[in-house]
Structure 1
Amino acid sequence: MSFIRPNIRHPQLPVNDIGFTRADYEGALSTLCAGCGHDSISASILQSCFELSIEPHKIAKMSGIGCSSKTPAYFLGNSHGFNSVHGRMPSVATGANMANRDLVYIGVSGDGDTASIGMGQFAHVVRRNLNMVYIVMNNGCYGLTKGQDSATADKGSASKKGVPNPYSSIDLCETAIQLGAGFVARSFSGDKEQLIPLIKAAVSHRGFALIDVVSPCVTFNNTPKSTKSYDHVREHMNATGTFDFVPLKDEITTQYEPGKTEEITLHDGSAIRLHKASENLDFSSPRSAMNEIEKYKEKGEVLTGLLYLNPQTPDTHELLGTTSKPLNSLSDKELCPGSDVLKSINSSFQ
């Protein structure tokens, strides 16, 4: 059996607006377990970047440690990448973003990498509103260390070992909303029709964008008593509504039904359109979003789709007043303006 992807492709593969085929966005072959939800998320990231016609070399993919953090090797093989220390991906992403603000930053993390060892890092990258897409591949367990419950495992949920989790779970979407994230969504690895437009919208959003993706672990947490198994999520998933992303290149038109459809334009002119299924959700209100999440939790259901959006939040560069040019493109004179400027700065603090 061969595990080598052929280099020869069909000469008439579809191309995007900049002439790249989908193959140009591929990476190495996955070594994850067959059926792992993480591979579906990788495929959705790949497809989103292809459809958005982003040049691969203008993307920086960041990760920490864990099954999820291995996945950047499996997509966007021609992009920049950095596999960092466990839970410290946000710091590396922040440093890279400060050096070159012109790249598209996609951070991939897991529920352990984010909600346990990396919780402090996650909290601060959210409140600083770093311009990045933060995708959590959430399976409720530590897949690399034999399936122990993670901090996002629901109370009473049981993995392969069969012992119900006694602790309350951390809801990363609610946490992100409370900390000031401008874009918060939840999805399911088995629902690419929902996930792909969410990723495309998150990439186009300026500021911090979180997508918490329930991604079942087929080896340790795909049991009948697990709330993050394929069967449970499919049977208990309820979407906020049908979600569309309309890029700037397309004519943005819509037919409004009062109380049913909401559309909002992002800073780059693209648009997000939500055909709401729930009349109670105001996705521009943090309180409304958290109330809706909690309402579905009480029913034992997983609310997916766009949960909260505020395109007006200033990102880290705006908050700090940094230069509009990437630091790596500045000249020596611009980086070192001289002792007189330094004296002026020092005197301003006296």
Structure 2
Amino acid sequence: MSYIKPTFRHPSSTKNEAGFYRADYEGKISTLCAGCGHDSINASIVAACYEMNIEPHKVVKLSGIGCSSKAPAYYLDNSHGFNTVHGRMPSVATGANMANKDLTYLGVSGDGDSASIGIGQFVHVSRRNLNMVYIMMNNGCYGLTKGQDSATADVGSLSKSGSTNQFSPIDMVGLALELGATFVARSFSGDKTQLVPLIKAAMSHPGFAFIDVISPCVTFNNNKGSTKSYDFVRDHIEATSEFDFVPVKEEIAVEYAAGSQKTVTLHDGSHIQLSKLNPDWDPTDRSSALDKLQKAKTAGEILTGLLYIDPESDDLHSMLRTTDTPLNELSQDVLCPGSKILEEVNAGLR
């Protein structure tokens, strides 16, 4: 069996507005287990970037350690990449973003990488509103070390070995909302119709965009007792809305189910259009999102969709009032203006 990816392109393949084929957004052949939800998420990332006309060389993909953190090898082969130390992806993303804010930052992590060793990093990147997309591939276990429960495993869920988890789970969506994240969503790896528009919207959001994606581990956590299995998730999903992303200046005709509609205008003029299934749902109300999330937990449901967005978000560069020119492009005379200017700055601080 060959591991070399074929270079054949179907004659009917078309380029997007940026001049790239869909295959230009793909990566190496996946070495993940057959049926792994992570591969479905990778495919959604490829689709979102292709449809958004993003130039691959203007994307920075980052990850930590774990099954999920192998994912950047499987998409955007021609993008910048950095596989960091376990749990430290947000720090590297912050440094890179501060140096060059003109790139698109896409971080991928797992529930172990984010909710255990990296939880402190997650806390600070959320509250600082760094302009990046943070996708957490959440399977509730440590797949690389034989399936032990992770910090997101639900109380009472059974592992493949038959042991019962006795500890309360960390809900990263609830944590992100509490910390002030300005775009918070949850989806399911098997729901591409929902996930692709969410990723596209997250990429257009001017701030920290967090998407928790339930991604069943087919080897260690897809058994009958697991609350992260394919069957359990499909039986307990409740979507907040029917969702589509409408890029700026591109007309899209969409048919929605009965119910009221809400259009959220993003900072760059693009839109997110929602068809509300719940009459009291407001994606711009953080308190409402937290309340709905808690009610879903009590009912044993998994709430998916866009949970919260702040359309007036100011990212870290805006808050720090950095220069319009990326820091890595500043010239020597700007970085070192001379002793006279330095003395004036020091005098103003005395």
Counterpart-to-counterpart distance in 2, 1:270 and 1:84: 32
* TM-score, reference length from structure 2: 0.97
Q: Please name the residue that 2:59 is paired with.
A: 59
1:206 and 2:220 correspond: no
Structure 2 gap ranges (5+): none
Counterpart-to-counterpart distance in 1, 2:28 and 2:95: 26
Q: Please name the residue that 1:315 is paired with.
A: 315
Give the paired residue count.
Answer: 350
**Aligned pairs (5 A) from 1:325-336:** 325-336=325-336
DSSP 3-state at the match of 2:61: strand
C-alpha deviation, 1:111, in angstroms: 0.5
Q: Is the 8 A contact 2:139 2:228 kept in 1?
A: yes
DSSP 3-state at the match of 2:210: strand
State the AA in 2 paired with 1:35: G
C-alpha deviation, 1:257, in angstroms: 10
Structure 1 gap ranges (5+): none
Counterpart-to-counterpart distance in 2, 1:49 and 1:215: 20
State the AA in 1 paired with 2:42: S
Q: Please name the residue that 2:15 is paired with.
A: 15
Q: Is the 8 A contact 2:259 2:275 kept in 1?
A: no
C-alpha deviation, 1:183, in angstroms: 0.5
Q: Please name the residue that 2:158 is paired with.
A: 158
Q: Please name the residue that 1:183 is paired with.
A: 183
State the AA in 1 paired with 2:39: D
Q: Is the 8 A contact 2:65 2:113 kept in 1?
A: yes
Q: Is the 8 A contact 1:112 1:142 kept in 2?
A: yes
Q: Please name the residue that 1:70 is paired with.
A: 70
C-alpha deviation, 1:344, in angstroms: 2.8
C-alpha deviation, 1:296, in angstroms: 1.0
State the AA in 2 paired with 1:19: G
Q: Please name the residue that 1:288 is paired with.
A: 288
Change (3 A) 1:252 1:337: farther
DSSP 3-state at the match of 1:186: strand
Counterpart-to-counterpart distance in 1, 2:177 and 2:52: 26
Q: Please name the residue that 2:249 is paired with.
A: 249
Q: Please name the residue that 2:127 is paired with.
A: 127
Counterpart-to-counterpart distance in 2, 1:25 and 1:320: 33
Counterpart-to-counterpart distance in 2, 1:259 and 1:313: 28
| RMSD between aligned residues | 1.6
Counterpart-to-counterpart distance in 1, 2:257 and 2:241: 14
Segment drifting more, 2-11 vs 113-122? 2-11
Change (3 A) 1:255 1:242: closer
C-alpha deviation, 1:253, in angstroms: 8.1
Q: Please name the residue that 1:305 is paired with.
A: 305
Counterpart-to-counterpart distance in 2, 1:12 and 1:259: 38
Counterpart-to-counterpart distance in 1, 2:346 and 2:105: 34
**Aligned pairs (5 A) from 1:272-287:** 272-287=272-287
Counterpart-to-counterpart distance in 2, 1:255 and 1:41: 25
Moved over 4 A (4+): 252-259
Segment drifting more, 204-213 vs 320-329? 320-329
Q: Is the 8 A contact 1:252 1:271 kept in 2?
A: no
* TM-score, reference length from structure 1: 0.97
Q: Is the 8 A contact 2:256 2:275 kept in 1?
A: no
Deviations along 1:66-89, one digit per CA (max 9) or x if unpaired, are 110000000000000100010000
Change (3 A) 1:216 1:101: same
